[in-house]
Structure 1
Amino acid sequence: MNRLYNSMEPRVMDDDMLKLAVGEQGPQEEAGRLAKQEGVLFKDVLSLRLDFQNILCIDNLWQFENLRKLQLDNNIIERIQGLENLTQLVWLDLSFNNIEAIEGLDTLVNLEDLSLSNNRISKIDSLDALVKLQVLSLGNNQIGNMMNIIYLRRFKCLRTLSLSGNPMAEAEDYKMFICAYLPDLVYLDFRRIDDHVAKLAETKHQYSIDELRHRETLMQARLEEEQARQEELEEHKAAFVEHLNGSFLFDSMYAEDTEGNKLSSLPGVSELLEAYPSNLSTIREESEVPSIEKKITECGEDVAELFNVLMTLEMQLVEQLECRDLENHHHEKLLEISINTLEKIVKGELDEDLPDDVRALFVDKDTIVNAVGASHDIHLLKIDNREDELVTRVNSWCTHLVDKIHTDEIMRNRKRVKEINQYIDHTQGELDNLECGDMID
């Protein structure tokens, strides 16, 4: 469901609207009236209701730094923004708006209840910072890919999820899939998950779940290893900076010698000083540490995205390989229906007019069994061919990938060795050109 612009003009969240909302929601007793007369500081407000205001853009909320509950439903908001300072927010309602993408929630680390139902959202993402999320409502949106559920596995506190009214909810395996991949979920689409259904779902998708858990364990181990490596790098950088701070180059170069002359006045040293920063803070400012940290963050995001893509492909592959079980089930049901139809024909209880070629099959039980068995064998053959094709393609892709990685690594190594040699030659040349004799004199 999407809200349309009505006859009213879209409104802006200015100070007048916010003051009015705060005043109307305050207590009505004598203390409340005094508060209205004297005014209420926005930073003291814990709950704010701005529903049905025809708001187009979220703005001017930066003063509500202690806000716990924010109600912005039933407006015409198109983007989630302007919530950066609401770090204490626990409950947020943005339902019945025109939001197309989940964004702007990176600082809401204390959020527990988020409602985005009845919008235009097509993908579940950008919720990584909401580590305390317990309730997520996304009903009546445009989410069609079941693989969005994989993303929600990272939210260990999530207990209530609503996705009804999305295209994905029309899938036959919708409930089973969610129960299997989100085993800690208690409520789905406003109904408590039955323990029996949860066990059936786990059994049905056990192979896929085991593979996913294995990959998640490997991913977590790699992240912890990278974090440890980063901490070690920070320690080395700190030690290096400390060493520079106490070294002859940065501490003694400006000291006076026994004759009262500064070392910086010696021939050749002044040029060397100009080539280096004059103080330690300049070194830190000119270092590439922020750039490195930014690159590491970007790479981490790329790795997470790669994980989601690979898991999507893996789940699709598993679903294709489950075709054999589906075919066996189809064969059993078809054989059962065929035999029942034959019995009805023999007893004259079949009211439907069958085509001549179909009726010719219902001569006796052996003919029916042979016909259904032949159809089953043909389907299994097609499935076998499909599996062989998939395995061949995967092996070919794997071989190509390994070859490419090997080639790229060789090229990278050669390039790096060349850069190292050039740098060493350049540094040695600079040292050779330094007038050390003048400095000694």
Structure 2
Amino acid sequence: MAVTDPCKAREPKVIDNALIERCIDLQFPKGKVGMLMRADGMRMDQIEEMRFEFMNILKIDHLWVFKSLVKLKLNNNYIEKIENLSMLVHLEELDLSFNKISKIENLESLTKLKKLKLYENLIEKIEGLDNLKHLAVLSLGRNKISDKTEIHYLRQFNLISLNMAYNPCTEDENFRLYVAVFLPNMDYYEYKKITDTEREQGNILFLAELRELVKIEDKKLAVIRQKEKELADAELHSSSFVEYMNSQYLFDKMYENDDEGKALLKIGTEELEEIYNDFKTQFVDYCRQVFEIGQKHYQLRTDEIEQFTRSTEAAKKANQQESIDFMEAFIEVKQELFVKVKALQKELDDAVIDDNIYVEKVEVYFSQFDHIIHDTWKNLMRLELQLYESLEEVNQNFEHNLTEMINNFVEESQAVFTNIRDKEMVFTENLTEAANQFFTSANVGDVEVPEVLKVIMSDKENLVNALGATHDIHMQVIDDREDLLMNRSRTWLDNFIKQLYEDEIKRNRYKILEVTNFLDIQREEFEDMTTLPPPIVDPDDVIED
């Protein structure tokens, strides 16, 4: 009998296909039920719960096959890093307790996670949980969290239960009261319900600290809401192609990657500071002018589109009513003919007339029916052709109007962008003069050079290069924003007009198909009604060869 090497059995593993198969097999029930389930097989993409416990696992991998997984247990292993879980988007419970994890990370896509267990790991900081908006139960006991303020991070969640036992921060005898105060909506700490008395005691001890934290949170929340508002405004204003132009966004963008420009502002003279502030004020004012131009022309375009839509819809509706009138007139004549055919069929059934007379009279009715079908088709096609030609002319005029509107918008905006560039050039000239004066003063030792300016002011060539670089960056940002406005507005126009013509072609084809199908159905119905049934042959009349 072979003896298993215990050291080899404890060798760290990576989750691979073989290990997955083994764990799936272990999860089958024992006995006949398990045998039957093994025979049927188990589809990995339908499994909702998996356990990889006490497997000496070092690295998480290959779990992407479990696309429907809701519960996953990876506790009691040697896992050092949370990774390769991004595909498990349906996961609600994750147990990584008793491992070697030092950082909470790579959980962004697990947005449905409700329960997370990280008991007994090497974690020092609470982080990486921002996307887990449904997180309700968190276990972080026996880690290395030493700062009790780490729990402030958890205020963003609606936690029901938290366990932090045996972390260094919990050695403070009042830590439970601290939790009760700073996580006021949480019900349980270390699986024991937090009482109102504990919250009251905690408020007495930590009220001042709580108030300071709330002030900081309010400021952060205000910044977040401002950002959200800016994004919402940008989305709203994107239709007018001037998003962010009602703020100092473009001005800030110029200095975003302009290290030389930011350094040169450290020259620090009152005159330069005044020049800079005037430049910023005028620059932002011009940006707002572009924004107002965008809003004005957006409203003009919207009014034009609404008027065009109303007029074309009215024309289509009137044309449709005329088509209906022709069809109703056709149906009325058709019904009269059907009544005559039915009367003729009754005469045939009653043997008042024979087949020949029936066919002769039916051919007359059929000729009349064919005539009204043809007239109806001509009238409906004439109406559609009139509408198509009329809409074609209207669409061309509309295209011309919209094109002119976009051109006017671009021209007005470009005029303001020219002013923006002029202001930047004037500022560069003033900055150059101030920088040269500072360079001269620095060389004779009259002023102290800030650290960020020492390289720039080390020689004349560096200064010239720095001034040229900051000017080029600013101009590039301005040019790019102008190009973006022009390109997006013209692209919108091209796409809008293209879609307009495509929709009209589809409408025309559908209308022709609708008319043709309608009349084909009417013709088939008349033919079916007027066709004589095949003669009934008496078997006794059949003459055998």
TM-score tier (shorter): 0.5 to 0.7
TM norm structure 2: 0.44
Secondary structure of the residue aligned to 1:92 is strand
Match in the other structure for 1:25: 27
Cα deviation, residue 8, structure 1: 1.9
Change (3 A) 1:97 1:411: farther
CA distance in 2, matches of 1:132, 1:143: 23
Change (3 A) 1:214 1:426: closer
Match in the other structure for 2:226: 225
Q: Deviations over 1:245-269 (max 9, x none)?
A: xxxxxxxxxxxxxxxxxxxxxxxxx
Cα deviation, residue 411, structure 1: 8.7
CA distance in 1, matches of 2:277, 2:81: 46
Match in the other structure for 1:141: 143
Residue number among 64, 72, 84 corresponding to 1:82 in the alignment: 84
Cα deviation, residue 205, structure 1: 1.7
Secondary structure of the residue aligned to 2:162 is strand
CA distance in 1, matches of 2:273, 2:70: 52
Residue number among 37, 41, 61 corresponding to 2:63 in the alignment: 61
Match in the other structure for 1:39: 41
Opposite residue 58 of structure 1, the aligned amino acid is I
Change (3 A) 1:146 1:415: farther
Secondary structure of the residue aligned to 1:205 is helix
Cα deviation, residue 38, structure 1: 4.1
Match in the other structure for 2:131: 129
Is 1:200–2:201 an aligned residue pair?
A: yes
Change (3 A) 1:407 1:171: farther
Pairs within 5 Å for 1:84-233: 84-155=86-157, 157-233=158-234
Change (3 A) 1:239 1:35: farther
Match in the other structure for 2:241: 240
Change (3 A) 1:414 1:63: farther
Would you say how many aligned residue pairs link Structure 1 and Structure 2? 263
CA distance in 1, matches of 2:149, 2:56: 34
CA distance in 1, matches of 2:38, 2:196: 52
Opposite residue 162 of structure 2, the aligned amino acid is L
Higher helix fraction (1 or 2): 2
Change (3 A) 1:409 1:11: farther
Cα deviation, residue 181, structure 1: 0.6
CA distance in 2, matches of 1:130, 1:88: 12
Opposite residue 204 of structure 1, the aligned amino acid is L
Structure 2 unmatched runs, 5+: 1-6, 243-252, 257-267, 284-420, 429-470, 480-545
Secondary structure of the residue aligned to 2:58 is strand
CA distance in 2, matches of 1:6, 1:96: 21
Opposite residue 235 of structure 1, the aligned amino acid is L
CA distance in 2, matches of 1:63, 1:140: 32
Cα deviation, residue 15, structure 1: 1.1
Change (3 A) 1:236 1:79: same
Cα deviation, residue 30, structure 1: 6.0
Secondary structure of the residue aligned to 2:133 is coil
Opposite residue 195 of structure 1, the aligned amino acid is D
Residue number among 54, 71, 74 corresponding to 2:73 in the alignment: 71
What RMSD, in angstroms, separates the aligned Cα atoms of the two structures?
3.5
CA distance in 1, matches of 2:137, 2:28: 27
CA distance in 1, matches of 2:147, 2:165: 13
CA distance in 1, matches of 2:91, 2:43: 17
CA distance in 1, matches of 2:118, 2:39: 36
Secondary structure of the residue aligned to 1:16 is helix
Match in the other structure for 1:347: none
Cα deviation, residue 176, structure 1: 1.7
Pairs within 5 Å for 1:286-435: 420-421=424-425
CA distance in 1, matches of 2:147, 2:95: 24
Q: Deviations over 1:174-207 (max 9, x none)?
A: 1221111111222212322232112111232223
CA distance in 1, matches of 2:114, 2:221: 24
Change (3 A) 1:407 1:112: farther
Q: Deviations over 1:202-239 (max 9, x none)?
A: 23222322332233233223312211211221233344
Match in the other structure for 1:376: none
Opposite residue 207 of structure 2, the aligned amino acid is Q
Opposite residue 215 of structure 2, the aligned amino acid is H
> Over alpha carbons, which structure has the higher Rg?
2
Secondary structure of the residue aligned to 1:209 is helix
CA distance in 1, matches of 2:154, 2:82: 20
Q: Relative contact order, CA 8 A, sep 6+: which one is greater?
A: 2
CA distance in 1, matches of 2:32, 2:9: 38
CA distance in 1, matches of 2:475, 2:12: 64
Structure 1 unmatched runs, 5+: 242-291, 296-403, 431-441
CA distance in 2, matches of 1:9, 1:37: 31
Opposite residue 96 of structure 1, the aligned amino acid is F
Cα deviation, residue 408, structure 1: 11
TM norm structure 1: 0.53
CA distance in 2, matches of 1:169, 1:43: 42
Change (3 A) 1:191 1:237: same
CA distance in 1, matches of 2:34, 2:67: 21
Secondary structure of the residue aligned to 1:114 is strand
CA distance in 1, matches of 2:186, 2:214: 17
Change (3 A) 1:210 1:40: same
Secondary structure of the residue aligned to 2:72 is strand
Change (3 A) 1:220 1:24: same
CA distance in 2, matches of 1:7, 1:61: 22
Secondary structure of the residue aligned to 1:147 is helix
Match in the other structure for 1:438: none
CA distance in 2, matches of 1:407, 1:116: 59
